[in-house]
Chain A
Amino acid sequence: MSALLGSLLRIAALTRKELLAVLKDRRSRLSLLIPPVVQALVFGYAATYDLNHVTYAVLDQDHSAASRQLLAGLDGSGVFERVADLTRASDIQALIDSRRALLVLQISPLFERQLQSGHGATVQLIADGRNSNTAGTAMAYVSGIVDAFALRWGADHHFDPPPLRIVTRAWYNPNLETRWFMIPGMIGTLTLIQTMMLTAMSVAREREQGTFDQLLVTPFRPFEIMVGKALPSMVVGTIQAGGVLLVAQLWFRIPFAGSYATLGAGLLLFLLAAIGIGLLISSVAATMQQAMLYSMLLIMPFSLLSGLTTPLSSMPRAVQYLTAVNPLRYAIDITRRVYLEGAGLGLLMSDLVPLALISALTLTAAAWMFSHRMQ
């Protein structure tokens, strides 16, 4: 009993010392607490595939009531800004090349006559494909407006309505706002970077400064040193995750559908996995530069191949298998499903089990490395 108590006391002392080392310096304190919140705010606004400002130009060769009505639909949508009225097709190139207009809409001189004939009219749409995703979204917006125009024009001119309509409903995110998808995903992403680096570098720093040897001559057991290194990162990670969650709820007002306990359990498991990887790195790295290099080598793929910005299902199968070892992938899935869908622990098993496995494996491996390198 007293052995356990002694161990706990030693861990508490080491944790305190580690927290002091991290938080004592004002610069490093700020560098741990401010960035996640600021990033969540800025990236929360920036990271969206939704468009609210599309510049376009028009080459209206018809100048009819119908073409004016169509253009009024675009201009009145609040999304499209007309930057030029072209008179010649040869002007299109320069406008798109210089990125002044994302889209150019070309209405042929026969537009209204074709409409009245009932055989269907065609408008040409040219898009700047340098970012083909943005262009695709903008073109879909135009199609929606053109369809709405056709429906109204058809009704006004006594055409039959189209015989088939698709009625779409989106679950969990009725207005299809990308922000609802991105910001919950950032809880894990923004936390991962610093939690993992902090853990990885803290041992490396002691090694480089020679204080690690001093730690070894104290009565600490390797296991206790490891826990003492892990706990402060856990505290920092939890605070960071909490900060980002607050930004999502209080600032961006994204409704939280699930339970905080479920989210907390998932995030703690994720932090454990991240710290386990960090500890493993620190047990391998000899210098801080190496520790940083290894962390970086993992953090970049972890954050880019996590499903945050591009879906996992669009990746080739081989890469999808590789992401099985990426803890962030599971954390993002957990936060999104708990946050937006209110998923319970039962539905999340496919994420929780791999996270538990990653934590168990990395922590055991790190503990083994520590005790072996120390002797």
Chain B
Amino acid sequence: MKIPPKLRRIRALVSKETRQIVRDPSSIAIGAVLPLILILLFGYGLSLDVKNVPIALVIEMPTPEALDFAAGFELSPYFHPWVTRSMPAAQQALLEHRIDGIVRIAADFSRHIAAGDAQVQLIVHGGDANRARIIEGYVQGVAGVWSARRAAEGGAGAVPLVSVESRLWFNEANDSSYFLVPGLVVLVMTLIGGLLTAMVMAREWERGTLESLLVTPVRTEEILLGKTLPYFALALFGFVLCVLSAKFLFHVPLRGSMWVLFGASMLYVLIALGIGLLISSWVRNQLVASQLTMLVTFMPAFMLSGFLFDLRSMPALVRALTYVLPARYYVALLQSVFLAGDVWSVIVPNTLALTAMAAALFLASRAVMRKSLE
């Protein structure tokens, strides 16, 4: 059987590139070892769950009511209280970051409880505002439980007029790794994909080997394909490792279907590789290419993709910027496919956006390369 020359040329390029990968272990390290290390380190390391908060419980007068109220903190899994009578000592501890907050039960607590107008002072370290708000919520919770219990026992407590019964869909246990781990997969794939190709093309330009490739009958898009395919396989291998660890190590549920997950991810890997190709054929310098890849892939995917920070709360200008970021669509896809299942109203528009981006990147890389050849 006769193979068309176009395919033969691509096959030759692919086999040349594959040989190069096998001989230089650093590409394999980027494609397979790096994702595994990163997902393990971050999967275990990153968490927004707040537990065992070290707080000072300042009980100025140990009356039965004050001790009863304080017991709520000692029993709570969210707090790790340190009981003291001295407010200055507690403030010093807060200054030195040994505790995250102070709950102060004043000397006249019992009298005010009897009169029905008691106040408990909470001082939180406002530095980490997110954590401070969570701690405040926990303290409110302890106080609410105490009031309701006193009311039930016929004391001077009260049931709240309105209580909110909350349900967190897709993540009933409120485990932050459920949304962090799929987001991390996005971060890792973005970085891996971009880096794999960015260095390769820039290196060929620097060494002048690309020019020698050009005097052969190979065409621009064939070079692009020949460069992309082997790294595509390598990056996909890294992706499989990430998904396996998400499912079996971090126990993130995979509620959507496998083929949606893989389809979307293949598309995204293509885009990540394409960004690397485009950057490196544009700057043709390994130093600048690697810095630029790092800048336009890792940090934006970290900050602007909706992985951590809510997109709807960003100012319009910054939000507009996120629309050109492929990671934004991939984060939406992965969070839905992992946690919510096959939600077509999410999958279809995001996949379409990714497809358009992949096509645009390929065309742009071809144009940039053609132009730099002339």
A contact set with B: CB distance below 8 Å: 27-28, 31, 35, 39, 42-43, 45-55, 70, 94, 96-99, 102, 115, 118-137, 139-140, 142-143, 146-147, 149-150, 153-154, 159-174, 176-178, 180-181, 193-194, 197-198, 201, 205, 287-290, 292-293, 296-297, 299-301, 303-305, 309-311, 313-316, 318-319, 322, 336-337, 340-341, 347
Q: Are B346 and A97 in contact (CB under 8 A)?
A: yes
Known: A124-B165, A131-B310. A42 touches B318 (CB 8 A): yes
**Does B241 make an interface contact (CB < 8 A)?**
no
**A129, B339: Cβ atoms under 8 Å?**
yes
- Is B161 in contact with A171, judged by CB distance below 8 angstroms? no
Are A126 and B116 within 8 A (Cβ)? no
Q: How many residues of B sit at the interface, in one of the four size bands?
A: 35 or more
Minimum CB distance partner of B168 in chain A: A129
In the complex, the chain B residue whose C-beta lies closest to that of A93 is B169
With A163-B116, A170-B124 in contact, is A297–B34 under 8 Å at CB? Answer: yes
Q: Which of A54, A161, A171 contacts B125 (CB 8 A)?
A: A171
- Return the chain A residue nearest B200 by Cβ: A289
Q: A97-B340, A169-B124 are in contact. List 19 more A-B contacts (CB 8 A).
A: A43-B303, A46-B303, A98-B343, A126-B167, A133-B48, A133-B179, A135-B168, A150-B162, A163-B113, A166-B119, A167-B121, A170-B123, A171-B126, A201-B287, A289-B24, A289-B27, A304-B42, A314-B51, A340-B127
From the candidates B34, B166, B295, B303, name the one contacting A125 in the complex (CB within 8 A).
Answer: B166
Residues of B within 8 A of A143 (CB): 137, 140, 164
CB nearest neighbor in B for A177: B129
Contact across chains for B162 and A149 when beta carbons are under 8 A apart = yes
Establish whether residues B309 and A132, one from each chain, have CB atoms under 8 Å apart when the complex forms: no
The interface residues of chain A lying within 8 Å CB-to-CB of B132 are 170, 173, 176
In the complex, how many angstroms separate the beta carbon of B284 from the nearest chain A beta carbon?
10
Given contacts A136-B134, A146-B164, A193-B294, contact A46 B304 (CB under 8 A): yes
Binds A, one of B151-159, B229-237, B257-265, B354-362: B151-159
Return the chain A residue nearest B341 by Cβ.
Answer: A97
Q: Is residue B283 within 8 Å, beta carbon to beta carbon, of the partner chain? A: yes
Judge whether B143 and A166 touch: CB under 8 Å.
Answer: yes
Across the interface, B42 reaches (CB within 8 A) one of A102, A193, A287, A305, namely A305
Q: Which residues of A contact B285 (CB under 8 A)?
A: 27-28
A322→B195 CA distance, assembly (Å): 25
Please state if A133 and B287 are interface contacts (CB–CB under 8 Å). Answer: no
How many Å lie between the Cα of A161 and that of B115 in the bound state?
Answer: 11
**Bound-state Cα–Cα, A164 to B121, Å:** 11
Across the interface, name the chain B residue whose C-beta is closest to A178: B129
Given contacts A163-B158, A165-B119, A293-B29, contact A130 B163 (CB under 8 A): no
Query: A-facing mask of B275-303, CB < 8 A → 1, else 0?
Result: 00000000101111011101100110011
Closest approach, in angstroms, between the C-beta of B17 and any C-beta of chain A? 14
Chain A minimum-CB-distance residue to B343: A97
Q: Which residues from chain A contact B312 at a C-beta distance below 8 Å? A: 51, 53-55, 102
Option from B160, B168, B298 in Cβ contact (under 8 Å) with A132: B168
| Known contacts A31-B291, A130-B339, A290-B26, A46 near B309 by CB under 8 Å | yes
> Which interface residue of B34, B162, B283, B322 has the most chain A CB atoms within 10 A?
B162
Q: Report B-chain residues with C-beta under 8 Å of the C-beta of A309.
A: 302, 308
A-B contact pairs, 18 of them (CB 8 A): A48-B313, A102-B312, A126-B166, A130-B339, A132-B175, A136-B134, A139-B168, A150-B160, A171-B123, A171-B124, A172-B127, A173-B126, A174-B126, A289-B26, A296-B191, A300-B298, A319-B41, A340-B127
Interface centre among B37, B130, B139, B290 (most CB of A within 10 A): B130
Q: Considering the complex, give the chain B residue whose CB is closest to the CB of A55.
A: B312
A172 to B105, CA, bound (A): 22
Contact A154 B96 (CB under 8 A): no
B171:A130 contact, CB within 8 angstroms: yes
Partner of B133, one of A53, A70, A135, A140: A140
Q: Which of B46, B49, B156, B286 is in CB contact (< 8 Å) with A304?
A: B46
Give CA–CA (A131, B182) in the complex, Å. 10
Q: Contacting A50 at CB < 8 Å: which of B29, B290, B313? A: B313
Cβ–Cβ < 8 Å partners of A163 in chain B: 113, 116-118, 147, 150, 156-158
Among the listed A174, A301, A313, which residue makes an inter-chain contact with B38, where contact means beta carbons less than 8 Å apart?
A: A301
In the bound assembly, the distance between CA atoms of A140 and B133 in angstroms comes to: 8
CB <8 Å contact, A49 and B129: yes
Picked from A130, A170, A194, A315, the residue with its CB within 8 Å of the CB of B126 is A170
What residues of chain B lie closer than 8 Å to A31, measured between beta carbons?
288, 291-292, 295
CA distance A133 to B49 in the complex (A): 9
Q: Give the distance in Å from the alpha carbon of A167 to the alpha carbon of B166 in the complex.
A: 24
CA distance A353 to B304 in the complex (A): 34
Q: Are B119 and A167 neighbours in the complex by a CB distance under 8 Å? A: yes
Tell whether, in the assembled complex, residue B294 and residue A296 are in contact, meaning their CB atoms are under 8 Å apart: yes
CB distance A347 to B95 under 8 Å? Answer: yes
CB of A130 within 8 A of CB of B164, answer: no
**Which chain B residue has the least Cβ–Cβ distance from A123?**
B164
Q: List the A side residues contacting B143 at CB < 8 Å.
A: 164, 166
Pair A128/B120 contact, Cβ less than 8 Å: no
Set of chain B residues within 8 Å of A98, measured between Cβ atoms: 343, 345-346
User: What residues of chain B lie closer than 8 Å to A322, measured between beta carbons?
Assistant: 41, 45
Q: Does B332 contact A (CB under 8 A)?
A: yes
Interface string of B6-50 (1 = CB under 8 A from A): 000000000000000000101101100010011001101111111
CB of B228 within 8 Å of the partner chain: no
Could you tell me if B176 and A132 are in contact, using CB atoms closer than 8 angstroms? Answer: yes
B118 CB to closest chain A CB, in angstroms? Answer: 5
Q: Is the CB of B160 within 8 A of A128?
A: no
B50: chain A residues at CB < 8 Å are 311, 314
Q: In the bound complex, what is the Cα–Cα distance between A228 and B336 (angstroms)?
A: 51
Known: A52-B313, A172-B127. A166 touches B140 (CB 8 A): yes
Contact A45 B162 (CB under 8 A): no
Residues in A with CB closer than 8 Å to B47 are 310, 314-315
A164 lies within 8 A of B157 (CB): yes
List of B residues within 8 angstroms of A341 by Cβ = 95, 127
Q: Within the complex, what minimum Cβ distance (angstroms) separates A81 from chain B?
A: 9
Chain A residues near B4: list those with CB within 8 A.
none
Which B residues touch A316, using CB under 8 A? Answer: 44-45
Chain A contacts for B62, CB-based, 8 A: none
Q: Is B268 an interface residue (CB 8 A)?
A: no
A154 CA / B162 CA spacing, docked (Å): 10
